[in-house]
Amino acid sequence: MNFPQSERRVVVTGIGIISPNGNDLDTFWQNVVGGISAGAPITHFDTSNIPVKIAAEVKDFSIRDYFPTIKTQRYDRCVQFSLASAFLALKDSGIDAETLDPDRSGVIEGTTISAMESILKAQSGYSEGSYKGIRPYNVVGGYFGEGSSTICLHLGIRGHAVTYCAGCSSGNDAIGYAMRMIQRDESDVMLAGGSEAIVELMHAGFCKLKTMSERNAEPKGAMRPFDRSRDGFLLGEGATFLVVEELMHALARGAKIYAEVAGHGRSCEAYHATDPSPDGRGYRGAISRSMRDAGLSASDVDYINAHASATQLNDPIETEAIKGVFGDQAKRVSVSATKPITGHLMGAAGAIEAAICVLALERQQIPPTINLRNPDPRCDLDYVSPTARNYPIRAALNVNAGFGGRYACLTLKKYPS
């Protein structure tokens, strides 16, 4: 069954990635389809007193490679990742920000802990020297809107500037929000995505929650979605921004088009602060709404990039939710989990995985689920393991789940379609 769509179609015309797997598209994609994990011992802080000593960190990054005169102490690493990624996306799109109509463009950033470094530095300064110990730029940087406003400031984008937080669904929702603004004729061009940095306190908090893999001796093989031996995720960091643009606007300027953003769905199951509902209603709601928004049925979708957090609860519930939506089509659809390769980027997970779906559609190649050696019998779909697969993908779903029972799904289509 098909459903009515907006007459204003939305396409992706630029991609910018700062990731543990590379800071340019070709390197990133080769590592993703090659199943090369960025898991490694943590180098940014001392892990001697915490149980999880591995993560997927961004390496060989300096914001001055993109903005030579910037004062690096001014911005948290999360904001630096945002800024560099947005710069790369705009460059890839071929758009000169100075030519953008301020009333028809803007930035939407998804994140969860963007300002945490600044807040912790301000608290440390205050504890050591009262208010005189607080640095002004830690005050300015200590709010979650810093990323989107900094992108606008340095790239000269004078339209909308929005920061969106919905836990680990933030990146998906940011892109969906941008899609909706274009469909509703509020804008023509939007930079949308997400950013996150690994902060010691948050990493320690996830240790306390026991949501991360403790296989410190084998960081690249630590995260094992859908496997019997799974024991949690590998934390990651980085940023991904997409230039999403109204189709006629893109065609008029002769833009390269990667894929179409066709639908967005979200849900909140109101079940538990961290655990998914056993009946999978959050997943089912977001997936069904996104497909309905795109006017697609189960038979139209060929690939799903799953949330796949490799926790004991999540993976079988997500599997059952997919089967609940797709019925007898479920085992036909290719499903893969790319977090074991990139790490779990929290608020940026949806953004980097949306970019993976876009590249999969453009290059007609499905990334693998690595480290799946002994599948959980409750996880019985086609998880594209152990290697990537060439396949004629028509439409892809990007699924993410966040704390607080939040779920989000993007539907992306091959272009032209």
Closest listed residue to residue 115, CA positions, set 174, 201, 236, 53:
201
For residue range 264-311, list pLDDT tens digits in order: 999 998 888 888 889 999 999 999 999 999 999 999 999 999 999 999
* DSSP-derived secondary structure letter, 210: T
DSSP labels for 254-273?
T----EEEEEEEEEE--S-S
User: How does pLDDT run across 116-140, given as a tens digit for each residue?
Assistant: 777 776 677 778 877 777 776 666 7
Structure tokens at 157: 């984008």
Task: Give me the helices (H) in 156-245, please.
Answer: 170-183, 200-209
**Percent of the chain residues topping a pLDDT of 90:** 83
3-state secondary structure of 316: helix
Where are the strands (E) in 202-325, listed by range? 238-246, 259-268, 303-305
Q: What DSSP designation does 344 have? A: B
| Banded pLDDT at 71 (limits 50, 70, 90) | confident
β-bridge pairing 105-110 and 189-196: parallel
Which amino acid, one-letter code, is at 402?
G
Taking all residues of the chain, what is their mean pLDDT, rounded to a whole number? 93
pLDDT, position 142: 67
CB 52 within 8 A of CB 214: yes
Q: Mind listing the pLDDT tens digit for each residue in 168-185?
A: 999 999 999 999 999 999
Mean predicted confidence (pLDDT) in 240-245: 98
- Residue 135: the pLDDT is 75
Share of the chain above pLDDT 70, in %: 95
User: Can you say how many angstroms the Cα of residue 30 is from the centroid of all Cα atoms in its chain?
Assistant: 18
Q: How far apart are CA 298 and CA 330, in angstroms?
A: 8
Choice among 26-30, 77-81, 141-145 with the minimum mean pLDDT: 141-145
pLDDT at residue number 127: 81
Burial class (CB in 10 A: 0-12, 13-18, 19+), 149: middle
Side-chain-side CA neighbours of 80 within 13 Å: the count stands at: 23
User: Checking DSSP bridges between strand 303-305 and strand 238-246, what pairing results, if any?
Assistant: unpaired
What's the token pair of residue 130?
Answer: 């009262």
Assign 6 to helix, strand or coil: coil
Confidence of residue 2 (pLDDT cuts 50, 70, 90): very low
What whole-number distance in Å separates Cα of residue 138 and Cα of residue 116?
A: 10
- 326-364 tens-digit pLDDT: 999 999 999 999 999 999 999 999 999 999 999 999 999
* Distance spanning both ends of the chain, measured CA to CA: 17
Fold of 10-414: Peroxisomal Thiolase; Chain A, domain 1 (3.40.47)
Residue 3 pLDDT > 70, yes or no?
A: no
Distance of alpha carbon 352 from the chain centroid: 4
- Around 37, how many Cα atoms within 13 Å sit in the side-chain half-sphere? 26
Q: Which residues contact 384 (CB under 8 A, 6 or more apart)?
A: 334, 335, 336, 366, 367, 368, 369
- The pLDDT value given to residue 404: 85
pLDDT score recorded for residue 4: 46
Show which residues are catalytic: 168, 307, 344
Average of per-residue pLDDT across 51-68? 96
Q: Is the backbone of residue 339 left (phi > 0), alpha (psi -120 to 50) or beta? A: alpha
- Nearby residues of 140 by Cβ (< 8 Å), 6 or more positions away: 146
> Which pTM does this prediction carry?
0.95
Q: pLDDT tens across 76-91, in order?
A: 999 999 999 999 999 9
Largest CA distance in the chain: 65
Dig out the tokens for 121 from the structure.
């530095």
pLDDT in tens, 378-416: 999 999 999 999 999 999 999 999 988 899 999 999 999
Sequence-separated (6 or more) residues with CB below 8 Å from residue 217: none
d(CA 82, CA 210): 28
Find the helix packing angle between 77-93 and 146-155, rounded to 10°. Answer: 40
Residue 162 near residue 108, CB atoms below 8 Å: yes
Q: Copy the structure tokens of residue 285.
A: 């709601």
